[in-house]
Amino acid sequence: RAPHVVFVVVDDLGYNDWGWTNAGQVHTPVVDSLVSAAGAIVLENYYVECVCSPSRATFLTSMYPLHHGVTDWLEPADATGLPLNLTTMADHFQTAGYATHAVGKWHLGFYRDEYTP
């Protein structure tokens, strides 16, 4: 059986905003327990663009903004979105037999159903 895979993508989070990095100033016991579980990986550098939409598009496609075309924040009313012809991480996971689900902030296109998760 394949292992579960969970990605947590958070905007505007500082390094010391997690319980395991701030000596108890902020309590995050559930996330701390996930991090301490065998096989958990914590990235400790910046891997994002300056605004949310290009960061999410890059994360999902493994492409730089220059290549996926999302170079700024996409407002909900914008008649655009992450290009539908791109293969995303979710597509790869589904091909491998995983069920996929997105929860929370999207900001990669809303104006037509095809652009939503």
Q: Which of 4, 27, 52, 92 is catalytic?
A: 52
61 CB neighbour count, 10 Å cutoff:
20
Using an 8 Å Cβ cutoff, are 57 and 108 in contact?
yes
**What distance in Å separates the CA atoms of residue 63 and residue 77, rounded to the nearest whole number?**
24
- To the query of whether residue 50 is one of the catalytic residues in this protein, the response is no
The DSSP secondary-structure symbol of 19 reads: G
Q: What is the number of alpha carbons within 13 Å of residue 15 lying toward its C-beta?
A: 6
**What distance in Å separates the CA atoms of residue 108 and residue 116, rounded to the nearest whole number?**
7
Q: Which residues are catalytic?
A: 52, 107
